[in-house]
Amino acid sequence: MSIRPSIRYATLLSLALTGILVTACGSTSTTTVGSGGASQPASGGSGSGSSSGTGVQDGIGHPVNICSLLPADTVASVTGDPSIVAKEQDTVGAKIYMCNYTGGTVSGLVSVLAMDAVAGFQGDVDANKSVSSGVYPYTPISGLGDKAFSSIMGVEALFGNVSITANMQSTSADETLIRDLQPKL
């Protein structure tokens, strides 16, 4: 019996719930898809109330393309699966940026939540503590971001008001990918 689909569905469910929570809180920024598939803010800036481009709710201030920042060959070298293919799957209005990586033996997601990430992270902590299992227990991780944990969803780390989640079915690969992606944001 493979648990791979369960992990993927758990991650997608968590991201969907986070997106619903973020959307319910309200967002006034609008976004368009630019050339090359990269999302870009519509005219008028980032939609943030701060002159620096980031606000209390928006931890980045600009859209990101994770598949460009973590190309398939990078993920392949970390996971050991040379057949990795990357597909961007963003929810721009909720500032959830995600790349789905599929391969011959490894598949999973890397995502960035850039709006209300502190609340989203805490919600994921609470949810994962309540469904923690013996096989994939909720485990805090020190030395990765401000806070981090591993669970059935993979590894999630909070950096200020930006949350990064990686679920490539290996905690060490997940941590490596998060450490590689974070400075590029």
- Per-domain boundaries in the chain: 4-184
Cβ-proximal residues to 28 (8 Å cutoff; 6+ apart), any chain: 47
The pTM of the full predicted model, rounded to 2 decimals, is 0.72
The span from the CA of 8 to the CA of 170, in Å, is: 13
pLDDT at 57: 60
Q: Residue 105 in contact with residue 2, Cβ under 8 Å?
A: no
pLDDT at 133: 75
Question: Where does the pLDDT of residue 132 fall: very low under 50, low under 70, confident under 90, or very high at 90 and above?
Answer: confident
Strand-pair partners of 151: 154
The span from the CA of 179 to the CA of 159, in Å, is: 11
H and E: helices and strands count for the chain: 5, 9
% of the chain with per-residue pLDDT over 90: 61
The DSSP secondary structure of 10-56, one letter per residue, reads HHHHHHHHHHHHHHHH-----EEE-GGG-EEEPTT-SS-SSTTS--S
Q: Residue 32 in contact with residue 88, Cβ under 8 Å?
A: no
Helices (H), the chain: 4-25, 66-69, 72-79, 117-131, 171-181
Nearest to 115 by CA among 141, 97, 89, 88: 97
* CA 168 to mean position of chain CA atoms: 12
Region 39-56: mean pLDDT is 35
pLDDT at 31: 30
Burial (CB < 10 A; 0-12, 13-18, 19+), residue 184, is exposed
pLDDT in tens, 49-102: 333 333 346 789 899 999 999 999 999 999 999 999 999 999 999 999 999 999
pLDDT reading at 18 higher than 80: no
The span from the CA of 150 to the CA of 135, in Å, is: 12
